[in-house]
Amino acid sequence: MTKLESVKCGVCGSDDRTPYAEGKDYEYGTSDDTFHIDRCNICGNLYLNPRPVREELSCIYPPNYYAYNYDSSINPIALKAKEFLDRRKAKNWLKYVTADLEKLNFLDVGCGNGRYLQMLHRLGVPKSQLYGIEMSEGAITSLQNEGYNGYYGRLEDVENQLPENTFDLIVLLQVIEHVEFPKQTVQTLSRLLRSGGILVLETPNTQSWDANLFRLGYWGGYHFPRHWNLFDRPTLNRLVTAAYLQVKDIQFLPSPAFWILSYHHAIADKWQNQKLANWFDPLQNLPLLSFFTAIDLVRAKLGFSTSNIQFVAVKSPTL
Ligand SMILES: [Zn+2]
């Protein structure tokens, strides 16, 4: 049994809520508990409640967690495709930034092995201006050894060591859904941005086709019990503007993994067919990855929303 605690809405602090979804850790099986997601009746935020206490973090993020072993656990062809898309994504961020690359100050919150720091360095940003925060001590030590500014811990543990009003570009990719208090997180980042600086925030979107199809519990984006707060376009918009940031652009990116995981969970749990479910592997099944990427790309092109939403916001120059 995982030790759990009841919580209030992580955005507005209210206790006024309605049950929304429930499910298990279908991906890693770190717990036998059934977890619940509530919808806040005041601000619309979706949040896991009750949720694991902090001491359980090392249990719910096991050593084989994909983000810790990404490069070795993903199919090599899929990895190459991902690297290509990541490079395109990083170049796209730079379109919003006014600073020259030699002067750019960049922070990646949840930087993993530092692939975006390395990418921006290759594009011309000096290592001394590239900052990364990550919960993995090993990853941070190697980044520091390479000459980057690496910080080990959560944002709230290290924020006082970071320079305020400094960053031209901060990215928070697939992180906000894991934190306890998303509102504080975005406000902290707003403080670290210089006036006119850009925040890129990417997170699962609960108002997409697959999220609605699998809404009651099998949707891959729930990621029980690791996603603690989940958003859609209106709730994210409120979160960002409450931190004195102006939304500049919203994009929907392909999210094939959530499609594949949703089918995996439904087949494994509802049909009890683990053998068939294993075929729905978001890191290995290239035909499915290509198929759902194509579906999402077409949908995004036609103006529909996908399960991965990207907000680009600017810190108002007057603040
Ligand atoms: Zn709320």
Å from CA of 151 to ligand 1 middle: 30
Q: How much is the average pLDDT of 280-295?
A: 92
Å from CA of 116 to ligand 1 middle: 32
Å from CA of 273 to ligand 1 middle: 38
Token pair listed for 86: 């990541």
Å from CA of 74 to ligand 1 middle: 36
Residue 58 falls within a domain, yes or no?
A: no
Å from CA of 12 to ligand 1 middle: 4
Give me the CATH number covering residue 224: 3.40.50.150
| pLDDT averaged over every residue in the chain | 94
Percentage of residues of the chain with pLDDT beyond 90:
87
pLDDT tens per residue across span 208-242: 999 999 999 999 999 999 999 999 999 999 999 99
Residue 45 falls within a domain, yes or no?
A: no
Å from CA of 10 to ligand 1 middle: 7
Strand intervals (E) in 96-228: 106-109, 130-134, 149-152, 167-173, 193-204
Q: How much is the average pLDDT of 178-203?
A: 97
Residue 281 falls within a domain, yes or no?
A: yes
Å from CA of 39 to ligand 1 middle: 8
Helix or strand run (H / E) with residue 236: helix 233-241
* Residue 103, phi then psi, degrees to nearest 5: -110, 0
Å from CA of 9 to ligand 1 middle: 5
Å from CA of 13 to ligand 1 middle: 6
Is residue 262 a contact partner of residue 219, using CB atoms and an 8 Å limit? yes
Residue 310 falls within a domain, yes or no?
A: yes
Residue 27 falls within a domain, yes or no?
A: no
pLDDT tens per residue across span 97-147: 988 999 999 999 999 999 999 999 999 999 999 999 999 899 999 999 999
pLDDT at 70 over 90: no
pLDDT at 98: 85
Token pair listed for 145: 């050894």
Residue 63 falls within a domain, yes or no?
A: no
- Dmax (CA) for the chain in angstroms is 58
Residue 252 falls within a domain, yes or no?
A: yes
pLDDT at 281: 92
Place of tokens 């709730």: 235
Å from CA of 46 to ligand 1 middle: 8
Å from CA of 93 to ligand 1 middle: 30
pLDDT at 318: 61
User: Rounded to an integer, what distance in angstroms lies between the CA atom of residue 272 and that of residue 225?
Assistant: 21
User: Rounded to an integer, what distance in angstroms lies between the CA atom of residue 225 and that of residue 108?
Assistant: 24
The number of domains in the chain is 1
Task: Residue 54: count other Cβ atoms within 10 Å of its Cβ.
Answer: 10
Å from CA of 234 to ligand 1 middle: 13
Residue 48 falls within a domain, yes or no?
A: no
Amino acid residing at 308: N
Place of tokens 């993903």: 74
User: Rounded to an integer, what distance in angstroms lies between the CA atom of residue 269 and that of residue 27?
Assistant: 11
User: Rounded to an integer, what distance in angstroms lies between the CA atom of residue 105 and that of residue 276?
Assistant: 47
Please, how many CA atoms are within 13 Å of residue 151, restricted to the half-sphere of its CB?
19
DSSP classification of residue 205:
B
pLDDT at 36: 98
Å from CA of 69 to ligand 1 middle: 34
Å from CA of 181 to ligand 1 middle: 11
pLDDT at 64: 82
Please, how many CA atoms are within 13 Å of residue 130, restricted to the half-sphere of its CB?
23
Range of the domain at 304: 73-315
User: Rounded to an integer, what distance in angstroms lies between the CA atom of residue 206 and that of residue 34?
Assistant: 20
Torsion sign (Cα): 72, 76, 80, 86? negative
What three-state secondary structure class fits 1? coil
Å from CA of 71 to ligand 1 middle: 37
